[in-house]
Chain A
Amino acid sequence: MRRQLTYVIGIIAISVAGLAYTFAAGNEPLLGLDLQGGASVVLEPEPLPDGQEITEETLDQAVDIIRNRVDGLGVREPEVTRQGETILVQIPGVDDQQRAIDLVGQTAELRFRPVIEQATFDDEVSFNAALAAIEAGELDGAALTEAQAIVDRWTLTPDAATSEPSVLQERNNPSFQGRIRMGPVPTVLEPEVPGQRLTGEALESAAARFNVQQGWSVAPIFTSGSPGIDDFNVIAAACNAFQPSCPAGRVAIEIDGFVESAPSVNAASFERDQITISGSFTEEEAKDLALALNFGALPLELTPQESRIVSSTLGEDALDAGVLAGLIGVLLVSIYLIAYYRYLGVVAIVSLLISGALLWSIVAWLGASQGLALTLAGVTGLIVSIGVSVDSNVVYFEHLKEDVKGGRTIRSAVERSFPIAYSTIVKANVASLIAAVVLYTLTVGQVRGFALFLGLATVLDLVATYFFMGPVIRILANLDIDLARKPSTYGIPKARDATPESATTGGAS
């Protein structure tokens, strides 16, 4: 009995601790996009042209680059994950979803551009003044043209052609003074295709380095000849001499309409493997820049296979509906259980609550630490698991009733039935678990989320049954009070003297 009591107290303590931790840590289940609104897109890599296999590494790099891009959009909490061969991008919130979806899968180029100037505080002031004046409609004639020129000069043009000057934002500096105006992308000396410009093709690799004097820096290595170091040296010479094409003396590295870095050029000519981009980089910044230089363009061509935009109203509606359906479901099941099994029903409900509390803690923890979102499919999985959890109770209770009908006292029936019923429950739950594991491993998307939550609920059902439901009923049956001895407490009908059809009597031979 002591052991039973330990189990019951133990599992209640664990559930309460779990809930307390969940609340204390502010963990909440992370809602999927179908429940909170937002955009998601599944990207699938196109087969590589030379029939090579797509490696895990390439996919991971693509994920990193896409994450950078989405972060650059200023979206809150984007979620970029690999799912087998595909990449799932999830963007909560409602602003600019279509643009985000369009952008994530594009293969963008890395470009080198001479910097003309970077915005200053004065530029910001005059830009804002000009913009305000135009919007107020105070200006006309020459004053309007002049104001318009100031605005145009500093308006971002991330989509400008490579042959045009453009104004781009520094990726790590979203303020006005992070705007850089730069010239067209220079053409290469020996183009492989007509009009070829200086892009990431000229780079061989890049690595983040550390030394004591300079701290973290990035060392790019160009390919020899052209396109390669020769072309870079043309632009370096122009910048180093502050020629009109490069008055700021800096070279900007552009990816996806953002400036990754715009280092000053302090030599007219470089060896292809002797270049260092230094600055007050942190380790992370240096590594990000090296990554960007290495794979400025996505290493893969990705095609959107499934894109989904859920408006936040529909999402919230679905969440409300899911929660309400769950609550009503629990209520109906509770009424039925109490009506049929009386006090056993109460035990079953508490058992359900315990596995529910554990499940909530786990789901919230997974959401907070693993970024695992609860989708509508997951919610349905949870609602379904209410029924499955109660099944285990029913299996035990019916066994109990049968034993009592077979002539046992409640106390001995309780003792005897549990191991037998539990063995049945384990067999049945293992089959569910097999289903969950197979589905989780072999499928994608919604089915996967469903399988995960169903599997979790099944395991917790086994735990709650073994450590709570079983022990509590044993304790109850052993209590020295009238209530514990009455069969009606257990929803067991009073035994009659003889069943109507039992004509034959006599001992077992």
Chain B
Amino acid sequence: MKTLRMLFRNEHHFDFPAMWRTALVGSAVLVLISVGALVFRGLNLGIEFEGGTAWEVTAPGVSVADTRDALGGTGAESGKIQTLGSDAIRVRADLDTQDEVAVVTATLAELASVDVTDVSVTTVGPSWGDQITSKARNALFWFFIIVAGYIAVRLEWKMAVGALVAVAHDIVISVGVYAIFQFEVTPATVIAFLTIMGYSLYDTIVVYDKVRDVGGRLTVTGRYTYSEMMNQSLNQVLMRSINTSITSVLPVLSMLLIGSVFLGALTLQEFAIALLIGILVGTYSSVFVAASVVAYMKEREAENRAVADKIRAREGESGTRRVSEDDVALAGIPTTRERPSSSGGRTSSSQRSPRGQAAQRGAAAKRTQASARTGQPPKPRKKKKS
């Protein structure tokens, strides 16, 4: 409860860099397990990828065994037969000629005592799935290239690397879950995996944008290593990540719930499982994977190493220190939109609010809200744009 209250008040201070090592080991293990499952168990691909036919029919009270008996001799009896919800049957078999399919359709209609047109049938040719898969792979490739380019231009290339590592991490783990539990992979699942990429990127970009924002201000002080600065950013952005994930998870939970109640909503359910896993992993990876990868690379830049050495010489030991309250306040106030790599102790001329006033307000950060209000309310910036 105390932690929750601290989170709500944004008063939490987690030492993320200290957790990174553990987290990365955990991630590596999960990725290994996922890859292992993919290699050794493989994915349970739906007919859309493998070819074949699937039938669905509402048949209250008909069991899997009944269905298998009734289908004897049609070629579908060896297929996969399952119940959906409480009163529907789904049969999947490796048949794709029209005549064979029609026989099974008729048999199922008779079994369920419904009209032939009440049986849903999906037939997919064997080569079609290959095309879909290769198209999706192609799309994925271009997506990675373009997004990497975009992040490199808008943020920086090291962040592009971090974001892609995080996205790949999320996808591998999500796909791994499907391999481990042998959930059926359908086009809906593929869509879900693609959505996961979107979520993961959204979260990661929000984190990076904050890092750049905070970094631009803290780096100029020359008192913090990149990881310490990153830690400060992550603490500031944590609630944002948690809340965006909660608001994203809620509709997904609703889909999962509804999907298990309604029989026609198999797609919803398939989709929701993949998404749920993806959102959770995506939130985790933006804070633990995407951030640590960038921190690792940035700490190796000559400039940042020099700062870190100086600090170590002064403080005597390494480790993540908290950013002091003064600097937190400093970081909370806009000064410059410079790139974090630029240092030199001078503030950029691009700052928009008077620097002196800003620093004063920074120092006044811990005065009460009321006094800040009754004292000298800062005038709202008169900005014509937007």
Task: Say yes or no: A387 contacts B366, CB within 8 Å.
Answer: no
CB-contact partner of B373 in A313, A409, A442, under 8 A? A409
CB-contact partner of B206 in A312, A406, A428, under 8 A? A428
Contacts of B102 on A, CB cut-off 8 Å? 98
Task: Say yes or no: B128 contacts A306, CB within 8 Å.
Answer: yes
Q: Binary interface profile of B, 308-338, with partner A (CB < 8 Å = 1, else 0)?
A: 0000000000000000111111101110000
Task: Say yes or no: A407 contacts B329, CB within 8 Å.
Answer: yes
Task: Say yes or no: B136 contacts A447, CB within 8 Å.
Answer: yes
Given contact pairs A42-B128, A316-B264, A398-B240, A450 touches B330 in the complex (Cβ within 8 A): no
Task: Say yes or no: B367 contacts A391, CB within 8 Å.
Answer: no
Residue A495 is within 8 A (CB to CB) of chain B in the complex: yes
CA distance A443 to B88 in the complex (A): 31
Task: Give residues 417-461 of A contacting B (CB, 8 Å).
Answer: 418-420, 422-424, 427-432, 434-435, 438-439, 441-447, 450-451, 454
CA distance A424 to B201 in the complex (A): 12
CB-contact partner of B250 in A321, A387, A406, under 8 A? A387
Task: Say yes or no: A402 contacts B10, CB within 8 Å.
Answer: yes
Task: Say yes or no: A438 contacts B143, CB within 8 Å.
Answer: yes
Chain A minimum-CB-distance residue to B267 = A376
Contacts of B227 on A, CB cut-off 8 Å? none
Query: Which of the segments B31-39, B252-260, B288-296, B298-306 contacts the partner chain?
Result: B252-260
Task: Say yes or no: B48 contacts A428, CB within 8 Å.
Answer: no
Chain B interface, number of residues (Cβ within 8 angstroms): 112
Query: Which of the segments A13-21, A54-62, A156-164, A324-332 contacts the partner chain?
Result: A324-332
Task: Say yes or no: A333 contacts B268, CB within 8 Å.
Answer: no
Query: Which of the segments A171-179, A283-291, A292-300, A500-508 contacts the partner chain?
Result: A500-508
Task: Give residues 273-317 of A contacting B (CB, 8 Å).
Answer: 303-317
Residue A366 is within 8 A (CB to CB) of chain B in the complex: no
Given contact pairs A443-B136, A495-B368, A102 touches B98 in the complex (Cβ within 8 A): yes
Task: Say yes or no: B372 contacts A408, CB within 8 Å.
Answer: yes
* B236: min CB distance to chain A, Å: 6
CA distance A156 to B123 in the complex (A): 31
Chain A minimum-CB-distance residue to B246 = A336
Contacts of B377 on A, CB cut-off 8 Å? 409, 411-412
- Chain B binding surface, main DSSP class: helix
Residue B56 is within 8 A (CB to CB) of chain A in the complex: yes
* A425: min CB distance to chain B, Å: 8
Contacts of B122 on A, CB cut-off 8 Å? 306-309
CB-contact partner of A328 in B117, B246, B248, B254, under 8 A? B254
Task: Say yes or no: B120 contacts A311, CB within 8 Å.
Answer: yes
Query: Which of the segments A145-153, A186-194, A377-385 contacts the partner chain?
Result: A377-385
Contacts of B61 on A, CB cut-off 8 Å? none
Given contact pairs A333-B251, A391-B202, A439-B194, A403 touches B332 in the complex (Cβ within 8 A): yes
Given contact pairs A380-B267, A504-B324, A408 touches B378 in the complex (Cβ within 8 A): yes
Task: Say yes or no: A439 contacts B258, CB within 8 Å.
Answer: no
Chain B minimum-CB-distance residue to A101 = B98
Task: Say yes or no: B361 contacts A407, CB within 8 Å.
Answer: yes
CB-contact partner of B135 in A34, A317, A377, A442, under 8 A? A442
Contacts of B150 on A, CB cut-off 8 Å? 430-431, 434
Chain B minimum-CB-distance residue to A318 = B264
Chain B minimum-CB-distance residue to A435 = B198
Given contact pairs A325-B268, A446-B188, A499-B366, A406 touches B125 in the complex (Cβ within 8 A): no
CA distance A314 to B267 in the complex (A): 12
CB-contact partner of A502 in B8, B259, B325, under 8 A? B325
Task: Say yes or no: A318 contacts B206, CB within 8 Å.
Answer: no
Residue A210 is within 8 A (CB to CB) of chain B in the complex: no
Q: Binary interface profile of B, 145-170, with partner A (CB < 8 Å = 1, else 0)?
A: 01100110011000000000000000
Residue B118 is within 8 A (CB to CB) of chain A in the complex: yes
Task: Say yes or no: B143 contacts A383, CB within 8 Å.
Answer: no
Task: Give residues 80-138 of A contacting B (CB, 8 Å).
Answer: 94-95, 97-98, 102
Contacts of B147 on A, CB cut-off 8 Å? 431, 434-435
* B116: min CB distance to chain A, Å: 8
* A413: min CB distance to chain B, Å: 9
Given contact pairs A306-B124, A307-B123, A384-B275, A95 touches B195 in the complex (Cβ within 8 A): no
Contacts of A450 on B, CB cut-off 8 Å? 191, 194-195
Given contact pairs A409-B372, A444-B135, A508-B330, A318 touches B251 in the complex (Cβ within 8 A): no
Contacts of B359 on A, CB cut-off 8 Å? 507-508
Chain A interface, number of residues (Cβ within 8 angstroms): 114
Candidate in B58, B259, B332, B385 with the most chain A CB atoms within 10 angstroms:
B332
Contacts of B368 on A, CB cut-off 8 Å? 495, 497
Candidate in A326, A414, A466 with the most chain B CB atoms within 10 angstroms:
A326
CB-contact partner of A94 in B117, B237, B240, under 8 A? B117
Task: Say yes or no: B197 contacts A435, CB within 8 Å.
Answer: yes
Q: Binary interface profile of B, 105-141, with partner A (CB < 8 Å = 1, else 0)?
A: 0000000000011111111110110011001101100
CB-contact partner of B143 in A94, A306, A326, A435, under 8 A? A435
Task: Say yes or no: A416 contacts B372, CB within 8 Å.
Answer: no
Residue A340 is within 8 A (CB to CB) of chain B in the complex: yes
Task: Say yes or no: A387 contacts B247, CB within 8 Å.
Answer: yes
Contacts of A399 on B, CB cut-off 8 Å? 240
Task: Say yes or no: B251 contacts A311, CB within 8 Å.
Answer: no
Candidate in A313, A435, A493 with the most chain B CB atoms within 10 angstroms:
A435
CA distance A500 to B155 in the complex (A): 35
CA distance A380 to B139 in the complex (A): 20
Task: Say yes or no: B202 contacts A428, CB within 8 Å.
Answer: yes
* B138: min CB distance to chain A, Å: 6
Residue A5 is within 8 A (CB to CB) of chain B in the complex: no
Given contact pairs A336-B246, A395-B206, A508 touches B119 in the complex (Cβ within 8 A): no
CA distance A340 to B191 in the complex (A): 31
Residue B265 is within 8 A (CB to CB) of chain A in the complex: yes
Chain B minimum-CB-distance residue to A389 = B247
Contacts of B247 on A, CB cut-off 8 Å? 333, 336-337, 387, 390-391, 394
Task: Say yes or no: B143 contacts A439, CB within 8 Å.
Answer: yes
* A351: min CB distance to chain B, Å: 13
Residue A415 is within 8 A (CB to CB) of chain B in the complex: yes
Task: Say yes or no: B119 contacts A428, CB within 8 Å.
Answer: no
Task: Say yes or no: B118 contacts A507, CB within 8 Å.
Answer: no
CA distance A321 to B262 in the complex (A): 6
Task: Give residues 350-381 of B contacting A (CB, 8 Å).
Answer: 359, 361-369, 372-373, 377-381
Task: Say yes or no: A380 contacts B255, CB within 8 Å.
Answer: yes
Task: Say yes or no: A394 contacts B240, CB within 8 Å.
Answer: yes
Residue A356 is within 8 A (CB to CB) of chain B in the complex: no
Residue A77 is within 8 A (CB to CB) of chain B in the complex: no
Contacts of A322 on B, CB cut-off 8 Å? 265, 268
- Chain B residues in the interface with A (C-beta under 8 A): 8-11, 13, 48, 56-58, 88, 98, 102, 116-125, 127-128, 131-132, 135-136, 138-139, 142-143, 146-147, 150-151, 154-155, 187-188, 190-191, 194-195, 197-199, 201-202, 205-206, 209-210, 213, 236-237, 239-240, 243-244, 246-255, 257-259, 261-265, 267-268, 271, 275, 324-330, 332-334, 359, 361-369, 372-373, 377-381, 383, 385-386
Q: List 13 A-B contacts (CB under 8 A).
A: A44-B128, A305-B124, A307-B122, A313-B58, A316-B264, A321-B258, A384-B248, A424-B210, A432-B202, A435-B198, A442-B139, A444-B132, A505-B366
- Complex A-B, nearest 8 residue pairs according to Cβ-Cβ distance, in ascending order: A317-B264, A329-B251, A406-B332, A387-B248, A321-B265, A321-B262, A318-B264, A407-B365
